Amino acid sequence: MAVVNKKTRSVQTLDALAMFGDDEPAPSLQTMKAPPGGKDADWYFEPLGFPPKHPMLWYDDGDLIVVAGDQYTFKIHSEIMKDNSTVLGKVLDGVQPHDVPDSHRVLVLHDESYRLVDLVMMLYDSDIMKTFFNSNWAVDFDRLLVITPIAVKYGCQVIIAEAIARLEWLFPMSYLRDCLDTSFLFTDVVQPGDLIHRSRSTTVPIAAVALARAIDAENPPPFIATALYYCTTLPAQTRNRTYTSDKEKICLSPADTQLCVVASEALLRRNATVLHPVFHAAEHGSCASTQCHRALQRLAFELIRRGALTRREVLWPHTDIWKILVECAPGVRPCRQCEWSMIQQIDQRRYLVFAELGDIFKIANWPAREQARQMLAASSQQTHVARATGPAASTHRR
């Protein structure tokens, strides 16, 4: 905290917030004598070295001047900042306006100006608030990259919670067949219900991992497991690239890169487990039909030829398997019973792999473990009922 001498306007530093590291300047709160006549005269502020006023964030009835980095100066309302920021609330409680007669409080923040502008605009601009806090509106992924770290730094919990909710949509923590494939993540097609404007950039998962670590380095939000899964499925040269936007450049940390390398081998082993029903049926057959057996053999051959066993995308949809068969041998299909059984077996194995992502990537609070167990139990029961009632249902239809 700092106080401006009323006569000389020189700054005397009293203390700093303990939560900011030694290599990071803490917010400082100053008091300075108000301009003569109570007006915010430019000639009064310029000698202090303050940046220019921000045209949209200067309120005449404000009681707090914020020096935002080296680009802008705001005049805003301290109560709004205290209500929305636990960190700034503590800083602003340090020196009250009545402590120094006829004074302004000046809060000096040492962050990039564009981040601070985005944070304050989020709290003041009704149009921005309407889009960001409304689930009927999608927000740009790059917007989350800017607003989330600064919201975390200053304890703006409502912004953090909204950012996490949107990232959980893009990187689901529940087993959703159609949302665990790269075709869902890497697209610029906008659909009703989207919470984030997606991108074709394959480095989006890298930035998402960095966001999760920024929110909580020791106990990150669980969506990081899905983001790390996508990072692991990327080619090594892509995984080492940097996510670049207009204002951000982000890469995986060395620790997360190493985590992906180790997880890569684990996913390869699980991929073989997921595809095992196809190869087992191709070798031993799954019914008495010779045509069905040949179709499964052809499918197994094509999977090997196309490198399916070396893929780390363990959660790719089972429907893609049958697309391969249609492409290579139109008109060749296993019988419906065997195809249905194959889909069920593969899907159950995908359930199990998804449930293990928390263990693979060392995320203790991964919620999919219990979800997958419950879904597997329900699926097994449905399969049992279908097998028990199948012949009777067939006789009834006749």
pLDDT digits (tens, 9 = 90+) for 97-117: 554 445 677 888 888 888 899
Q: Quick check: is 193 in a domain?
A: yes
> Where is the domain boundary, 86, 112, 138?
112
Are both 236 and 302 inside the same structural domain? no
**pLDDT-derived band at 10, boundaries 50, 70, 90:** very low
Sheet containing 103-109, strands listed edge to edge, beginning at the edge strand earlier in sequence? 28-33, 103-109, 64-68, 72-76, 53-58
Measure the CA–CA gap between 323 and 353, rounded to whole angstroms: 22
- One domain for residues 139 and 247: yes
CB neighbours of 237 closer than 8 A, spacing ≥ 6?
none
Establish if 119 belongs to a structural domain: no
Same domain, 237 and 277: no
Residue 261 lies in a domain: no
Same domain, 280 and 386: yes
| 41 and 158 fall within a common domain | no
- 42 lies in a domain? yes
Q: Are 195 and 170 in contact (CB under 8 A)?
A: yes
Per-residue tokens: 197:
């404007």
Distance from C-alpha of 302 to C-alpha of 283, rounded to nearest angstrom: 14
pLDDT at position 350 is: 87
Which residue in 248, 274, 295, 261 sits closest to 354, CA to CA?
A: 274
Q: Please classify residue 16 by burial: count the beta carbons closer than 10 Å to its beta carbon, then call 0-12 exposed, 13-18 middle and 19+ buried.
A: middle
CA atoms within 13 A on the CB side of 137: 12
Lowest-pLDDT choice from 146-150, 180-184, 226-230? 180-184
One domain for residues 227 and 300: no
Contact 155, 87 (CB under 8 A): yes
pLDDT at 49: 64
Residue 95, domain extent: 2-112
Give the pLDDT confidence of 357-372 residue by residue, as tens digits. 999 999 988 998 777 7
> So what's the pLDDT on residue 102?
53
- C-alpha 211/C-alpha 30 separation (Å) is 32
Residues 161 and 204 in one domain: yes
Domain count, the chain: 3
Q: How confident is the model at residue 287 (pLDDT cuts 50, 70, 90)?
A: confident
- The residue out of 192, 221, 252 marking a domain boundary is 252
Share of the chain above pLDDT 90, in %: 28
Do 231 and 191 sit in the same domain of this protein? yes
Confidence of residue 38 (pLDDT cuts 50, 70, 90): very low
Does residue 19 lie within any of the structural domains? yes
Q: Of 60, 89, 112, which residue is a domain's last?
A: 112
CB 297 within 8 A of CB 282: yes
> Do 92 and 189 share a structural domain?
no
Residue 14: predicted pLDDT = 25
In a domain, 184, yes or no: yes
**Is there a single domain that holds both residue 391 and residue 276?**
yes
The predicted model gives 330-350 an average pLDDT of: 85
Would residue 197 count as lying in a domain? Answer: yes
pLDDT tens figures, 370-395: 777 776 677 667 766 666 665 444 33
Q: Say yes or no: 93 and 158 in one domain.
A: no
User: Distance (Å, rounded) from C-alpha 86 to C-alpha 186?
Assistant: 36
**Residue 120: inside a domain:** no
Torsion of CA 68, 70, 74, 80, to 10 degrees: 0
Instruction: Give the pLDDT confidence score for residue 161 in this predicted structure.
Output: 96
* Mean pLDDT, range 240-254, rounded to an integer: 84
27 pLDDT band, cuts 50/70/90, is: low
Q: Is the pLDDT at 47 greater than 90, yes or no? A: no
Residue 180, pLDDT above cutoff 60: yes
Residues 98 and 132 in one domain: no
- Alpha-carbon span 233 to 182, nearest angstrom: 9
Q: What is the mean pLDDT of residues 342-353?
A: 87
